[in-house]
Amino acid sequence: MKFCEVIGQKEAQKRLIQMVEEGHLPHAMMLCGPQGSGKLALATAFACYLLEQPTINGQQVSDSTKAMLAKLEHPDLHFTYPTIKLSSMSTEHKPVSDDFAKEWHELIMESPYFTMDAWMQAMGGENQQAIITAGESDDLVRKLSLKSSQGGYKVSVIWLPERMNIECANKLLKLIEEPPQQTVFIMVCEEPDKLLETIRSRVQRIDIRRTDNEDIRQALITQRGIGEEAALRISRLANGDWLKALEALQAGAENELFLDMFIMLMRLAYLRKIKDLRKWSEQMAGMGREKQKRWLSFFLRMTRENFMYNFQNEELCYMTQREEEFAKNFARFINEKNILPISDLANLAIRDIGQNANAKIVFFDFALQMIVLLVQK
């Protein structure tokens, strides 16, 4: 993969290349940024860039090496990512990335821009919580202890290290403290605060900003053949998130469902229909946990957009046409008195779902509290 395949992020690319050229490459770094900013794409392109560097003996990269990198099949490129335990696995087995290497390779070769939900679907476990186990760190120690097959760098790309369990995190910490020779760790992180402080203090953090809307607009036109006007609207709606741009491009079937569930919640809460709200909470509980968290993120966005809609400034709002049609009559119910409590409620629900709380209870309580919050004017 090449840097030219990364959408935008030219400043970050320049900084990474500069570290190599000036001889200031850290052995462990962490790319942090919001979803859809292209962190994984950037990390993968940088990993390939490192593996294309001349070896310590000055030997240039061969055509076969370039071919392996084009297919992301280089023996010195190692991917680590959250996994699940399948029913076919033995009770003693600790899932590792190699168990899902085929699924990962197919997904990342299709595009390095994808969500956790897409990865869960690829693994076949939408209703589970994906983690990085202690077995993964043991596997990584074994792989990185081997000599580089090409005489250059060995690169470990760790996607979402915040999903490591504590045993894995402690073993990885030791590996980072005493890294094998010519090994570079590139972590791709969305929630760095969930990582051990000792790990955060031993890696060089590089913050990746949201992708510029103009870069998204250009990519929609050149890569997807979208017209100027549609590309402009989608890029504004995406607000720096290429994944959101793709969702909008794909007709947003899930977004339509999420909007339906949002509208249903607000109408039932306003009318105080408790029995129907219970049915709504049961419908929400029927979704997989990753999908539930994604809906709650959608809820937060819609709450913010409806609040901003009250200011009647088009530049402040990022909604689809259908979302905006609902906001015309609903936005006045989201105001200065309830915007923060509603946001706190959604963030608390995201935390509870992430900690495997009973989804029916979480969403029914969520719905009941919305009844109270909507009447605060």
In this predicted structure, what is the pLDDT of residue 253? 66
Note whether 3-209 and 252-375 share their fold.
Answer: no
- Total Cβ atoms within 10 A of residue 175: 18
Total count of residues recorded for the chain: 377
In this predicted structure, what is the pLDDT of residue 307? 94
In this predicted structure, what is the pLDDT of residue 87? 83
Considering the four listed CATH numbers 3.90.245.10, 3.90.228.20, 2.60.40.10, 3.40.50.300, the one that applies to the domain covering 3-209 is 3.40.50.300
pLDDT in tens, 106-144: 999 999 999 888 899 899 876 678 899 988 989 998 999
In this predicted structure, what is the pLDDT of residue 264? 96
List of residues 6+ apart from 21 with CB closer than 8 A: none
In this predicted structure, what is the pLDDT of residue 65? 81
In this predicted structure, what is the pLDDT of residue 234? 83
pLDDT in tens, 277-309: 999 999 999 988 888 998 999 999 999 999 999
End-to-end CA, the chain:
53
In this predicted structure, what is the pLDDT of residue 244? 86
The C-alpha atoms of residue 152 and residue 212 are separated, in whole angstroms, by 34
Pairing mode, strands 77-80 and 28-32 = unpaired
- What tens-digit pLDDT sequence spans the chain (377 residues)? 899 999 999 999 999 999 999 989 999 999 999 988 999 999 999 999 999 887 655 566 677 888 888 899 999 999 999 999 888 888 888 889 999 999 999 999 999 999 888 899 899 876 678 899 988 989 998 999 888 877 788 999 999 999 999 999 999 999 999 888 889 999 999 999 999 999 999 999 999 999 999 999 999 999 888 888 788 878 888 888 998 888 777 655 678 889 999 999 999 999 999 999 999 999 999 988 888 998 999 999 999 999 999 888 766 667 777 888 899 999 999 999 999 999 999 999 999 999 999 999 999 999 999 999 998 66
The C-alpha atoms of residue 130 and residue 118 are separated, in whole angstroms, by 12
Side chain identity at residue 335, one-letter code: N
pLDDT in tens, 71-107: 999 999 999 999 998 888 888 888 899 999 999 999 9
Domain spans of the chain, in order of start = 3-209, 252-375
Question: Can you name the CATH fold of 252-375?
Answer: Zinc Finger, Delta Prime; domain 3 (1.20.272)
Three-state SS for 160-222 is CHHHECHHHHHHHHHHHHCCCCCEEEEEEECCHHHCCHHHHCCCEEEECCCCCHHHHHHHHHH
Q: Is 45 left (phi over 0), alpha (psi -120 to 50) or beta?
A: alpha
In this predicted structure, what is the pLDDT of residue 62? 75
